[in-house]
């Protein structure tokens, strides 16, 4: 761990933290019954629809499932290439 991270109180995630996050993700995917193939299809369709209206960086799009309490969320992080709206 670097000096600055220790100084600022930031810690590297432990293997326990990483394993816990992976298990949570696996449980979320299992509970929502969304296959990795379906997630990839959703990602492709989201990219297609949004890119009709704004310029995006398709290689930077990340679609994930999260769970908070009893709520499941499909979260899409979509980097914009140009924030101006396309003419059309």
Alpha helices in the chain (DSSP H): 3-7, 15-32, 36-50
C-alpha span between 8 and 47 (Å, rounded): 37
Residue 29 has pLDDT above 70, yes or no: no
Tokens of 55: 């310029």
Q: Which residues contact 53 (CB under 8 A, 6 or more apart)?
A: 85, 86
Residue 84 has pLDDT above 60, yes or no: no
Judging by DSSP bridges, how do beta strands 71-77 and 55-56 pair with one another? unpaired
User: Mean pLDDT throughout 16-40?
Assistant: 75
* Per-residue pLDDT reduced to its tens digit, 39-64: 888 889 999 999 999 899 989 888 88
Residue 28 has pLDDT above 70, yes or no: no
């Amino acid at each position: 761990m670097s000096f600055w991270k220790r100084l600022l109180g930031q810690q590297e995630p432990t293997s326990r933290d990483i394993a816990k996050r992976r298990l949570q993700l696996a449980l979320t995917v299992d509970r929502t019954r969304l296959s990795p193939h379906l997630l990839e299809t959703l990602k492709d369709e989201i990219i297609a629809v949004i890119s009709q209206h704004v310029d995006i960086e398709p290689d930077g799009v990340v679609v994930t499932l999260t769970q908070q309490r009893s709520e499941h969320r499909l979260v899409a992080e979509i980097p914009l290439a140009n924030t101006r709206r396309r003419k059309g």
